[in-house]
């Protein structure tokens, strides 16, 4: 007698909720499978393909980087508005410039995730090679700083930092 025959509720569970090990019928229950079953979600669409799993994880992280970059932009705007209100100039300029640099670093990391995503999509790259590829094309310190500067000068990153810094400079000379 196996485990699913021992309980009345378990025979109604679909096969993706458990897996038989060996010919003895010893079964291990997947928590994800049982939770999905209880919520009425079919797990038949789940593919255990490791390259697909890697793509999904990297894609979610790539999108997460966008959300965090927007929060950095909002923080820069908030700091600038508070500085404008209290007439604090140089510290605000420094903080906005530092946040711009932080977003540039953030976007450089995101670009590396994007490179791996493109490699997976173009040629079905082998799974579990993200960190090896991350280290591979990485240049020395000067090249890394150059990558950060390139990221900082992309239009989607420049905005709103350049505008805030220009308004801050204009306020210093005109008021």
Q: For residue 3, is pLDDT > 60?
A: no
Are 37 and 11 a contacting pair, CB within 8 Å? no
SS3 state of residue 2: coil
Residue with tokens 């090249």: 143
Cα angle vertex 88, ends 82, 90, to 5°?
A: 120
Are 117 and 58 a contacting pair, CB within 8 Å? yes
Share of the chain above pLDDT 70, in %: 69
In whole angstroms, what is the distance from residue 134 CA to residue 77 CA?
32
- pLDDT greater at residue 12 or residue 63: 63
Per-residue pLDDT of 83-139, as tens digits, reads 888 877 788 889 999 999 999 999 999 998 998 888 888 876 777 777 777 677 667
Where are the domains positioned within the chain? 3-38, 50-174
Are 61 and 109 a contacting pair, CB within 8 Å? no
The reported pLDDT for the residue numbered 4 is: 44
pTM of the complete model: 0.61
């Amino acid at each position: 007698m196996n485990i699913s025959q021992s309980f009345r509720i378990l025979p109604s569970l679909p096969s993706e909720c458990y897996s038989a090990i060996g010919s003895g019928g010893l079964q291990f229950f997947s928590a994800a499978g049982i939770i999905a079953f209880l919520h009425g979600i079919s797990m038949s669409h789940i593919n255990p393909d490791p390259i697909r799993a890697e793509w999904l994880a990297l894609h979610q992280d790539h999108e997460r980087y966008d959300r965090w970059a927007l929060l950095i932009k909002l923080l820069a705007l908030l700091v600038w508005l508070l500085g404008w209100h209290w007439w604090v100039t140089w510290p605000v300029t420094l903080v906005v410039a530092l946040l711009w640099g932080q977003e540039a670093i953030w976007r450089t990391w995101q670009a590396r995730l994007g490179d791996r995503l493109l490699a997976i999509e173009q040629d079905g790259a082998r799974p579990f090679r993200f960190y090896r590829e991350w280290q591979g094309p990485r240049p020395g310190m000067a090249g890394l700083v150059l990558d950060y500067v390139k990221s900082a000068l992309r239009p989607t990153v420049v905005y709103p930092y350049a505008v805030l810094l220009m308004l801050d400079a204009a306020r210093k000379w005109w008021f």
